């Protein structure tokens, strides 16, 4: 009987295993219950004291979906760490807790071992201090905020105005020259973290009392002086100069005990300073004057390096003369140029010329907006030759230049030299980039790096593109000379070991950390720059991380003919070898591609040399590149595509959201269009109101047709990623440009209207 019973049980089990259920399991077997889980939708939150935030949580695999909320382990929270309602509404405490951020926790009532957490960061309620102030006309009051400020307003006017008073982007309020009506104004700040949050303070403006100084509002040229007088005369006062960030005389100027103000040699970034007198017997009695500092001849004072590239036009393009030049000169701060040394390489298919080293003198006149008229007098083999130029000052250390004669056009840079470093010479590791034309007048470009030590260049490595193909990782060896103590001139050479090519250059040092150079071999024309590499730590893929902007200018080669191409864009690197997103704009000889999304990959070796590629999301076009790191998020790069001979620079983009107010004040700008033939080069100055409107004046040379002092207006917009669009009214038509900002002080521009020639533009904040 037992055996029969056992047999029947086995038969029954076999029958069960032969019949699969709809879910592939054993028919009739109960499914294993899924474990209970809890999930909070929001991982984190940021709130100000006293504010609320709604969390959303769910319980899975349980019939009882109720939740118990805790804050820092306290059910429902408390007044110290914040409270939490039964439905997940968190209310921040009235003060920032010691534990910050705090942890909120959702626990399943069905299974109290199951929970999920989120973090809440608590900030103090946005406020500025003092909440109220009283100042006299022309005086200043510093406001501060307990959070980072985006923009400041006075009576809802961005930055204020001359009627209600002005406020700098650091919160320094300057009262107007006379009492407004009503006499109390409102200062407002927008929080940078959340632009919708504002805080206000009131300022009551009083008239002068006790003493006064004259004049109260005056414009002073850079480097010049202004005598201020006191009423009552003979008052015993303390004089001081104040700016938005302190009293540094180099930035804001200085004032003597007798009230003689001396302006700095370059306008400060605010454009204005305050001269203040305070009675020694009663320090509550003060008087203030506002000084507007403008450019002058004194701004250009010292030793400078120049680099220039131009094309003399010709009826037959094959007879056009390409010009590359590097040099240095001394400006006396009064309009005179002396001690000029220049290396000129003129390349023409029909009339090849030997590179020339010669001397020059000159004169200059700096306008109040930084636009400068100058003439160089060069000692050429045939006699003295004059060369008119125009440039716009960025500061006393830098300017951007265009040629201004009727034989052609060109563009270049002027940068201050550190003469004290000439005796030490070049030493250390340098990264370089150059481009130009070879002896067949076809594009040639190279980037690389080398170590300079005791006159020897070794080891070195470079990537080169001559439109026939790219050579990657070429070994370089060479030599360099000491620097002339008066001019900073030197020479350097290298041999491309992969091809046996010998290259020789004239260089002019900005200092030991950088130099510009030009090829001094007959028939070849290259212009480049080299800068010391930051070797404080090894490079890696992490050396590219976050947001950067880039620009590029070069040549597109088709059927043996070269066409200019310019590029600008924004890149986001993940620090792990990927560019997950980017955007760029390109102009290829008038054919434009605007606002193109792209992605890419990259690798960086420990010495800073890298490789990468950029892939157009729309056309799947991929551009392979070589990269040479100067510093983290800062690099020279070169295209490896044979028909795309172009070099560029990647530089870090300042963090933060961008909008129209990012660009405000006075801006120097220039556009360069002269590449394979004479083009339309221009240099000028424009003023932005921070709300999308531009006005300015420009000097332009369009292929040997110079025109100066051209007025223009324009509009612009800026998106939160720093890409913007600019429309310039040039009189006969409106020209559109795309803009990429590296910060509120610098950016790149290229034209994006179909048919407009490829140009590369730059903007720089003056003040």
In this prediction, residue 688 carries a pLDDT of 94
Instruction: Tell me: pLDDT of 10 over 50.
Output: no
Q: Which of 26-40, 237-251, 345-359, 667-681 has the lowest mean pLDDT?
A: 26-40
In this prediction, residue 293 carries a pLDDT of 96
Alpha-carbon distances of 462 from 361, 408, 431, 437, 636, rounded to whole Å: 37, 33, 9, 18, 11
Q: Rounded to whole angstroms, how far apart are CA atoms 409 and 386?
A: 15
Alpha-carbon distances of 447 from 248, 258, 606, rounded to whole Å: 40, 56, 17
CB 544 within 8 A of CB 575: yes
Residue burial 628-666, b: 16+ Cβ < 10 Å; e: rest: bbbbbbbbbbbbbbeebbbbbbbbbbeeeebbbbbbbbb
- Percent with pLDDT over 70 in the chain: 94
pLDDT band at 31 (very low <50, low <70, confident <90, very high): low
Any bridge partners for residue 40, and if so which? 57
Exposed, middle or buried: residue 670 (CB in 10 Å: 0-12, 13-18, 19+)? Answer: buried
Q: Average pLDDT in the 499-517 region?
A: 92
In this prediction, residue 4 carries a pLDDT of 35
Instruction: Tell me: pLDDT of 733 over 50.
Output: yes
Within 221-307, residue ranges assigned H as helices are 249-252
283-305 pLDDT, tens digit each: 888 899 999 999 999 999 999 99
Nearest to 319 by CA among 202, 408, 207, 444: 408
Domain with CATH 2.60.40.1080 in the chain: 128-206, 212-294
CB 616 within 8 A of CB 599: no
Task: Please give the mean pLDDT across all residues of the chain.
Answer: 91
In this prediction, residue 206 carries a pLDDT of 82
79-98 pLDDT, tens digit each: 999 999 999 999 999 999 99
562-593 pLDDT, tens digit each: 899 999 999 999 999 999 999 999 999 999 99
Nearest to 134 by CA among 103, 161, 165: 165
Fold of 541-652: Porin (2.40.160)
Nearest-10 Cα torsion for 170, 173, 176, 181: 130
In this prediction, residue 189 carries a pLDDT of 96
Alpha-carbon distances of 125 from 191, 193, 668, rounded to whole Å: 10, 12, 39
Q: Average pLDDT in the 334-361 region?
A: 90
Instruction: Tell me: pLDDT of 12 over 50.
Output: no
Query: Which tokens sit at 584?
Result: 């760029």
Q: Average pLDDT in the 423-438 region?
A: 94
257-286 pLDDT, tens digit each: 999 999 999 999 889 999 999 988 788 888
Question: So what CATH class is 212-294?
Answer: mainly beta
Q: Which residues contact 24 (CB under 8 A, 6 or more apart)?
A: none
Instruction: Tell me: pLDDT of 1 over 50.
Output: no
Token pair 């899975």 in the structure block, residue? 60
CB 609 within 8 A of CB 627: yes
Domain with CATH 2.40.128.120 in the chain: 298-416+656-765, 419-532
CB 190 within 8 A of CB 198: yes
Q: Rounded to whole angstroms, how far apart are CA atoms 418 and 483?
A: 12
In this prediction, residue 5 carries a pLDDT of 37
Instruction: Tell me: pLDDT of 2 over 70.
Output: no
pLDDT band at 24 (very low <50, low <70, confident <90, very high): very low
CATH 2.60.40.1080 fits 128-206, yes or no: yes
- Report the residue count for the chain: 767
Token pair 């209970």 in the structure block, residue? 36
Tell me the CATH number of domain 298-416+656-765, given options 2.40.128.120, 3.40.605.10, 1.20.120.1760, 1.10.1040.10.
Answer: 2.40.128.120
Q: Average pLDDT in the 136-147 region?
A: 89
| SS3 of residue 12 by DSSP | helix
**SS3 track for 353-369:** CCCEEEEEEEEEEECCC
Q: How far apart are the first and last CA of the chain?
A: 107
Query: Which tokens sit at 160?
Result: 């204020």
Instruction: Tell me: pLDDT of 731 over 80.
Output: no
What single DSSP character describes residue 705? -
Q: Average pLDDT in the 741-762 region?
A: 93
CB 328 within 8 A of CB 305: yes
Query: Which tokens sit at 625?
Result: 């590149």
Q: So what's the architecture of 419-532 in CATH?
A: Beta Barrel (2.40)
Residue burial 506-539, b: 16+ Cβ < 10 Å; e: rest: bbbbbbbebbbbbbbbebbbbbbbbbbbbeeeeb
In this prediction, residue 502 carries a pLDDT of 87
In this prediction, residue 29 carries a pLDDT of 54
Nearest-10 Cα torsion for 233, 235, 236, 238: -90
- DSSP assignment string, 465-522: E-SS-EEEEEEEEEEEPPPPTTT-EEEEEEEETTTTEEEEEEEEEEETTEEEEEE-ST
Q: How far is CA 646 from the centre of its chain?
A: 21
Alpha-carbon distances of 525 from 401, 434, 450, rounded to whole Å: 19, 10, 21
677-696 pLDDT, tens digit each: 888 999 999 999 999 999 99
CB 69 within 8 A of CB 84: yes
Nearest to 741 by CA among 637, 630, 651: 651
Query: Which tokens sit at 269?
Result: 């970034």
Q: Average pLDDT in the 453-474 region?
A: 91
In this prediction, residue 464 carries a pLDDT of 94
- pTM greater than 0.75: no
Task: Name the helix (H) or strand (E) containing 15.
Answer: helix 2-17
Q: Rounded to whole angstroms, how far apart are CA atoms 169 and 151?
A: 6
Of residues 515 and 501, more confidence is placed in: 515
pLDDT band at 27 (very low <50, low <70, confident <90, very high): very low
pLDDT band at 316 (very low <50, low <70, confident <90, very high): confident
Nearest to 510 by CA among 303, 237, 654, 713: 303
Domain with CATH 2.40.160.20 in the chain: 541-652
Other residues' Cβ atoms within 10 Å of the Cβ of residue 677: 19
pLDDT band at 7 (very low <50, low <70, confident <90, very high): very low
| SS3 of residue 10 by DSSP | helix
What single DSSP character describes residue 731? S
Instruction: Tell me: pLDDT of 313 over 70.
Output: yes
Q: Average pLDDT in the 506-525 region?
A: 94
Instruction: Tell me: pLDDT of 8 over 60.
Output: no
pLDDT band at 349 (very low <50, low <70, confident <90, very high): low
CB 628 within 8 A of CB 447: yes
pLDDT band at 430 (very low <50, low <70, confident <90, very high): very high
CATH 2.60.40.10 fits 37-123, yes or no: yes
Exposed, middle or buried: residue 6 (CB in 10 Å: 0-12, 13-18, 19+)? Answer: exposed
């Amino acid at each position: 009987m037992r055996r029969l019973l056992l047999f029947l049980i086995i038969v029954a089990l076999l029958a069960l295993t032969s019949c699969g259920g709809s879910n592939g399991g054993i028919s009739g077997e109960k499914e294993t219950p899924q474990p209970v889980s809890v999930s909070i939708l929001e991982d984190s939150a940021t709130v100000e004291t006293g504010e609320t935030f709604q969390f959303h949580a769910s319980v899975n695999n349980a019939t009882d979906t109720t939740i118990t909320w805790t804050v820092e382990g306290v059910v429902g929270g408390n007044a110290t760490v914040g409270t939490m309602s039964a439905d997940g509404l968190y209310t921040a405490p009235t003060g920032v807790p010691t534990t910050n951020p705090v942890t909120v926790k959702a626990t399943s009532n069905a299974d109290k071992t199951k929970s999920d957490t989120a973090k809440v960061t608590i900030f103090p309620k946005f406020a500025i201090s003092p909440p109220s102030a009283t100042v006299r006309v022309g005086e200043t009051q510093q406001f501060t905020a307990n959070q980072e400020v985006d923009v400041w307003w006075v009576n809802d006017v961005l930055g204020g105005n001359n009627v209600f008073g002005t406020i700098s982007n650091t919160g320094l309020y300057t009262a107007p020259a006379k009492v407004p009506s009503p006499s109390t104004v409102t200062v407002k700040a927008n929080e940078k973290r959340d632009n919708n949050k504002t805080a206000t303070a009131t300022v009551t403006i009083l008239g002068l009392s006790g003493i006064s100084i004259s004049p109260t509002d005056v414009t002073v040229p850079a480097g010049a002086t202004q005598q201020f007088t006191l009423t009552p005369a003979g008052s015993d006062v303390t004089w001081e100069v104040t700016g938005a960030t302190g009293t540094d005389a180099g930035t804001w100027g200085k004032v003597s005990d007798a009230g003689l103000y001396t302006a700095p040699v370059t306008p400060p970034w605010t454009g204005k300073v305050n001269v203040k007198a305070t009675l020694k017997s009663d320090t509550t009695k003060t008087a203030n004057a506002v000084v507007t500092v403008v450019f002058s001849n004194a701004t250009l004072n010292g030793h400078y390096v120049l680099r220039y590239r131009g094309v003399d036009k010709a009826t037959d393009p094959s007879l056009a003369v390409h010009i590359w030049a590097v040099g240095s000169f001394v400006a006396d701060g009064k309009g005179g140029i002396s001690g000029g040394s220049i290396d000129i390489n003129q390349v023409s298919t029909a009339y090849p010329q030997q590179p020339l080293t010669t001397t020059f003198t000159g004169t200059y006149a700096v306008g109040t907006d930084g636009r400068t008229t100058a003439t160089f007098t060069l000692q050429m083999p045939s006699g003295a030759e004059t060369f008119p130029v125009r440039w716009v000052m960025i500061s006393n250390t830098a300017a951007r230049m265009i040629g201004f004669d009727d034989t052609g056009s060109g563009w270049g840079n002027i940068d201050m030299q550190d003469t004290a470093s000439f005796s030490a010479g070049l030493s250390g590791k340098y990264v370089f980039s150059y481009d130009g034309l070879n002896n067949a007048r076809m594009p040639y470009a190279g980037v690389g790096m080398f170590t300079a030590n005791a006159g020897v260049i070794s080891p070195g490595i470079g990537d080169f593109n001559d439109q026939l193909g790219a050579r990657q990782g070429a070994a370089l060896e060479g030599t360099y000379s000491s620097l002339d103590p008066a001019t900073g001139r030197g020479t350097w050479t290298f041999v491309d070991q992969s091809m046996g090519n010998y290259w020789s250059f004239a260089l002019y040092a900005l200092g030991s950390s950088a130099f510009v150079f030009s090829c001094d071999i007959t028939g070849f024309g290259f212009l480049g720059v080299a800068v010391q590499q930051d070797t404080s730590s090894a490079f890696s893929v992490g050396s590219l991380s976050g947001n950067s902007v880039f620009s590029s200018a070069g040549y597109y080669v088709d059927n043996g003919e070269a066409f200019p191409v310019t590029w600008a864009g924004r890149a986001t690197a993940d620090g792990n070898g990927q560019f997950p997103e980017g955007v760029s704009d390109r102009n290829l000889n008038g054919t434009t591609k605007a606002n193109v999304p792209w992605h890419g990959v990259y690798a960086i070796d420990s010495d800073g040399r890298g490789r990468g590629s950029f892939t157009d999301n729309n056309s799947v076009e991929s551009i392979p590149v070589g990269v040479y790191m100067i510093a983290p998020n800062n690099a020279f790069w070169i295209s490896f595509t044979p028909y795309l001979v172009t070099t560029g620079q990647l530089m870090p983009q300042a963090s933060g959201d961008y909008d129209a107010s990012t660009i405000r004040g006075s801006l120097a700008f220039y556009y360069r269009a002269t590449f394979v033939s004479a083009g339309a080069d221009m240099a000028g100055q424009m003023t932005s109101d921070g709300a999308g409107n531009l006005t300015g004046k420009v000097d332009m040379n369009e292929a040997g047709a110079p025109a100066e002092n051209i007025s223009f207006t324009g509009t612009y917009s800026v998106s939160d990623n720093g890409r913007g669009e600019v429309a310039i009214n040039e009189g006969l038509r409106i020209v559109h440009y795309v803009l990429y900002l590296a910060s509120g002080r610098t950016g790149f521009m290229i034209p994006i209207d179909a048919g407009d020639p490829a140009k590369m533009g730059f903007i720089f904040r003056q003040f």
